[in-house]
């Protein structure tokens, strides 16, 4: 139920603030937000847990995609655990935002129009 409330909150945000942006800018915003979450996660694990870059990125990816921590073995500090919780929340927020923007754009036909326009421009260039 809480996820639905989060989704409807982003749906309102999408209809009010994001609606003024072009579909290209909204998609760019989504990917930028996801990249920021990955950057924050990787940097956080480097600073908090003293992981090297590859392990920090790996921990971020398995956290965001909720793969699990079987191979990690629960070797996180208390601060690392708190950071992981915050990272999971941020990743769910980015997922809700992405689903909201894409669903609204798809339902309104804006996404189809965007890709059709890109295809037309590509064909004209050829």
Three-class DSSP category at 82: helix
Q: What is the CA radius of gyration of the chain?
A: 18
Greater pLDDT, 47 or 19: 47
- What are the domain boundaries of the chain? 2-125
pTM of model > 0.75: no
Place of tokens 């950071």: 83
* C-alpha angle 23-27-28 in degrees, rounded to nearest 5: 115
| Residue 24 near residue 114, CB atoms below 8 Å | yes
- Secondary-structure class of domain 2-125 per CATH: mainly alpha
**Measured in Å, how far apart are the chain's first and last C-alpha atoms?**
50
Does residue 98 contact residue 71 with C-beta atoms inside 8 Å?
no
What are the tens digits of pLDDT across the range 29-86? Answer: 888 888 999 999 999 999 999 999 999 999 899 888 877 776 666 678 889 889 988 9
105 with 26: CB under 8 angstroms?
yes
């Amino acid at each position: 139920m809480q996820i639905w409330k989060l989704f409807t909150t982003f749906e309102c945000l999408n209809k009010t603030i994001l609606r003024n942006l072009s579909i290209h800018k909204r998609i760019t915003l989504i990917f930028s937000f996801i990249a920021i979450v990955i950057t924050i996660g990787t940097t956080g694990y480097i600073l908090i847990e003293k992981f090297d870059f590859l392990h920090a990125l790996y921990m971020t990816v398995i956290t965001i995609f909720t793969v699990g921590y079987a191979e990690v073995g629960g070797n996180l500090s208390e601060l690392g655990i708190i950071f992981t919780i915050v990272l999971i929340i941020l990743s769910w927020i980015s997922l809700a935002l992405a689903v909201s923007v894409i669903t609204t754009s798809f339902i309104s036909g804006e996404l189809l129009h965007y890709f059709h326009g890109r295809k037309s421009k590509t064909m004209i260039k050829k």
